[in-house]
Amino acid sequence: PSVAPVKDFSDFEDFSDFEIFSDFEPVKRGTVSDAAGFDALRDAEVLRKAMKGFGTNEQAIIDVVAHRSNKQRQQIVLSFKTAYGKDLIKELKSELSGNFEKAVLALLKSSTIYDATELKEAIKGAGTDEQCLIEILTSRSNAEIHAINSAYKTEFKKTLEQDIKSDTSGHFERLLVSLIQGNRDESQHVDITLVKKDVQDLYNAGEGRMGTDESRFNAILCARNRSHLKAVFEEYRLVCKYDIEKTISREMSGNLERGMLAVVKCLRNTPAFFAERLCKSMKGLGTDDKTLIRIMASRCEVDMLDIRAEFKKMYGQSLYSFITDDTSGDYRKLLLQLCGSND
């Protein structure tokens, strides 16, 4: 069945000021939202008191940063500088330490700058953190990707594309470059004829030939809309008797395999994709705190409720209990506030 065309939002920079077509607004499934009766100056004052004198009142800091939306936290940063002529982030850096500091600072950056910084760090490290690149680039909307590209250039004097090209190669590089165009079809339209054609093309590009035509996978997975691809994955399973993930694992290897799999998982079910990333960040020896902080900070206003539900379904244990077992101190307190509650 064809779906009514979705209006084109490309002319609007910031959706939040634009409420007319609210039926197209994604439903917020976060644990953190705009605080009622918000007063940026009062919050700035609370944070200043928390850092003044001997010792730091970490709980007061948690109470503010974990219960304000990202937009409100930006206003607090500005009010702090206006009132005290000091940079809130620098002040917090000198007062806090360890993962608690990293998590607080992650929450105080605007979402766009935070994503851009995470991408930069994923690229410039000793080894490239491919999973971080894929996670951010696959789960953000076109508008968010355009904003990240422009923030990246302003911040680092080089384009994200230049950095990706100098750090990656081959089909994996092409996959990333495709994703950073922020040009995926964002309608909900599913054309069953095209679905069948894409399934045939994917089969012919992989299982149906010697060698693999990676560029075909790339073209379909990076350009088509989510609803269409879900239908493609379903149809592929019916026709081929197994999941497309299995084909990707058989036909590809290394970064490209991991990248393509992540794209498929994220498009198929974004909250389940993040639930798996969270579990992996905590399972086994040591914690991948960078990933844990990034997902908790960037999804708490988007789909944390759904991530929690998927987590429980997949692992039989709540995300809350996983975080409790795996972290400690103020860092744990802050993450648990972002998580919301125990399932």
Tally the C-alpha atoms within 13 A of residue 37's C-alpha that lie toward its C-beta: 1
Tokens 């005290």, residue located: 84
pLDDT of residue 209: 86
- By the 8 A CB rule, do 122 and 129 touch? yes
Please report, for the chain, how many H helices and E strands are present, in that order: 20, 0
**Pick from 38, 121, 116, 99: which is nearest to 74 by CA?**
38
pLDDT of residue 285: 82
Predicted TM-score of the model (pTM): 0.90
Return the structure tokens found at 63: 């109470």
- CA distances to 27, 179, 202, 203 from 245, in Å: 28, 19, 12, 12
pLDDT of residue 136: 97
Percent composition of the chain: helix, strand, coil (DSSP 3-state, to 5): 70, 0, 30
30-55: string of b/e by CB count within 10 Å (b at 16+)? Answer: bbbeeeeeeebeebbbbbeebbeeee
Report how far residue 280's alpha carbon sits from residue 306's, in angstroms, rounded to the nearest whole number. Answer: 18
pLDDT of residue 20: 36
pLDDT of residue 167: 92
With H, G, I as helix, E, B as strand and everything else as coil, classify residue 59: helix
Report how far residue 262's alpha carbon sits from residue 272's, in angstroms, rounded to the nearest whole number. Answer: 11
Report how far residue 15's alpha carbon sits from residue 40's, in angstroms, rounded to the nearest whole number. Answer: 22
pLDDT of residue 26: 60
Residue by residue, pLDDT tens for the chain (343 residues) are 554 444 443 444 443 433 333 344 567 899 999 999 999 999 999 999 999 988 899 999 999 999 999 999 999 999 999 999 999 999 999 999 999 999 999 999 999 999 999 999 999 877 778 889 999 999 999 999 999 999 999 999 999 999 999 999 999 999 999 999 999 999 999 999 999 999 999 999 998 888 899 999 999 999 999 999 999 999 999 999 999 999 999 999 999 999 999 999 999 999 999 999 999 999 988 899 999 999 999 999 999 999 999 999 999 999 999 999 999 999 999 999 999 999 9
Report how far residue 228's alpha carbon sits from residue 187's, in angstroms, rounded to the nearest whole number. Answer: 9
Q: Dihedral sign, CA of 290, 294, 300, 304?
A: negative
Residues in the chain: 343
